Amino acid sequence: MALVNPHGKDKVLKPLLLTGVELEEEKEKAKGLTEVRISSREAGDLIMMGIGGFTPLEGFMGEADWKGVCADYTLSDGTFWPIPITVSTTEGQADSISNGEEIALFSEETGEIMATMKVNEKYKIDKEFECQNVYKTTELDHPGVAMVMNQEDVNLAGPVKVLSQGSFPTEYKGIYMTPTETRKLFDDKGWSKVAALQLRNPMHRSHEYLAKIAIETCDGVLIHQLLGKLKPGDIPADTRVKAIDTLVEHYFVKDTCVQAGYPLDMRYAGPREALLHALFRQNYGCSHMIIGRDHAGVGEYYGPFDAHHIFDEIPNDAMETEPLKIDWTFYCTSCDGMASMKTCPHGKEDRLLLSGTKLRKMLSEGDEVPDHFSRPEVLAILRDYYESLTEKVEIKTHKYSEGV
């Protein structure tokens, strides 16, 4: 059997990253173009377009695509897409740019020119409309809402030529992989049925259990972690990489899983982000997306299984990658092992409910971590990380992380 097709009507990867002579010529041309600053989120989206992770997008979305995605999950040509991919600038700079003009997009963090873009459209958006539709709230305490509300006032739309992948290939050498690379890896292994496990936390026992459930029914699992920006208090990628490597080495059968990373910032969009995670994993070659409790959620903005339900609300042909929905998982003392609500008949008093939020809170406060919460080899790495911190960030739990 073959891997799933890339997303979109053409069913082929569309990486927008230039190479060779074409790259050098475009870099030289970019030096003479008007420069527009882009945020970390926008740079991550740009890199994903560059490596084909956001196939079939050819650039940042125009107003019709933006509105269709917010309201109906579709681009103007009918292609399924769950979250707007846009770039913004100030009203003053937008006024100085003509339609049809080429501009250079540079990272506000590194100053590097990341891409050139032909501006086909300039438009203002209703930020509250985007937030209400995508994040289901307009509260600024939501980090995704704050991201949208703090962006500039005018969106620029048009095709891009990507010039750089930023620091990801060097900083995360061996972990950062493009869709072309993961597809080749899966082909070389003879895998066609591959499940993706989304991570922004080190793997605790529930994550391990989810991955092993998938391994029972698939050829293998892609442990795919976010390498971009997180919210304060989340654990950085280099620490997660070490923890996951250790866990895989000691507790997984060899060659049943692959660890890789991708360059996006978290949006914390809950159900909508679960759809995006499944969509771009299709481009990476994954036939299934593991969807557990409170996928891509934050605080109490989403119900613990809203990310399950949203897959039932979209058309059957929206994308090829299917959700692998798994109920709340925990360690049960009476079962003497990992279980879920579907497999464990015992009461709450027998269950050790596991979450990344609870684990981070215990470690950040120096509390003892209960047995069976995480593997000892992983805990040793995480304790070293927390002991190295000079400033502590308060970790707040919520009812879903506590099992309420």
pLDDT at 403 over 60: no
Claim to verify: residue 212 and residue 127 sit in the same structural domain: no
Claim to verify: residue 225 and residue 274 sit in the same structural domain: yes
Claim to verify: residue 132 and residue 37 sit in the same structural domain: yes
Claim to verify: residue 86 and residue 59 sit in the same structural domain: yes
* 95 in a structural domain: yes
* 128 in a structural domain: yes
Claim to verify: residue 215 and residue 132 sit in the same structural domain: no
Catalytic residues: 200-201
pLDDT at 239 over 60: yes
CB count within 10 Å of CB 46 equals 29
Residue of 53, 89, 50 whose CA lies nearest to 278:
53
Claim to verify: residue 179 and residue 143 sit in the same structural domain: no
Arithmetic mean of pLDDT, 358-366: 77
* 401 in a structural domain: no
Write phi, then psi, for 105 (nearest 5 degrees). -100, 120
* 91 in a structural domain: yes
Give the CATH number, domain containing residue 240.
3.40.50.620
Claim to verify: residue 248 and residue 124 sit in the same structural domain: no
Cα 404–chain centre separation: 26
3 state SS for 28-49? HHHCCCEEEEECHHHHHHHHHH
Q: What span, in angstroms and rounded, lies between the C-alpha atoms of 185 and 257?
A: 11
pLDDT at 395 over 60: no
pLDDT at 358 over 80: no
Q: For 150-164, 208-222, 346-360, 374-388, which range has the lowest pLDDT when averaged over its residues?
A: 346-360
Task: Compute the mean pLDDT over every residue in the chain, rounded to the nearest whole number.
Answer: 93
Q: What span, in angstroms and rounded, lies between the C-alpha atoms of 130 and 60?
A: 16
- Structural tokens at position 187: 């082909």
* 15 in a structural domain: no
pLDDT at 54 over 60: yes
pLDDT tens for each residue of 261-308: 999 999 999 999 999 999 999 999 999 999 998 899 998 999 999 999
pLDDT band at 234 (very low <50, low <70, confident <90, very high): confident
Claim to verify: residue 153 and residue 184 sit in the same structural domain: no
Claim to verify: residue 46 and residue 105 sit in the same structural domain: yes
- Structural tokens at position 398: 């919520």
Number of domains the chain contains: 2
Question: Looking up tokens 């940042």, which residue turns up?
Answer: 60
Q: What span, in angstroms and rounded, lies between the C-alpha atoms of 28 and 199?
A: 38
Write phi, then psi, for 326 (nearest 5 degrees). -130, 135
> Model-level pTM?
0.92
Give the CATH number, domain containing residue 110.
3.10.400.10
pLDDT tens for each residue of 94-138: 999 999 999 999 999 999 999 999 999 999 999 999 999 999 999
* 13 in a structural domain: no
* 10 in a structural domain: no
Write down the pLDDT at residue 404.
Answer: 40
Claim to verify: residue 217 and residue 323 sit in the same structural domain: yes
Claim to verify: residue 188 and residue 333 sit in the same structural domain: yes
Q: String of b and e for 113-128 (b: at least 16 CB within 10 Å)?
A: bbbbbbbebbbebebe
pLDDT tens for each residue of 340-356: 999 999 999 999 886 76
Arithmetic mean of pLDDT, 372-395: 80
* 396 in a structural domain: no
Claim to verify: residue 211 and residue 157 sit in the same structural domain: no
Q: Which domain holds residue 206?
A: 171-262+268-388
Q: What span, in angstroms and rounded, lies between the C-alpha atoms of 303 and 358?
A: 17
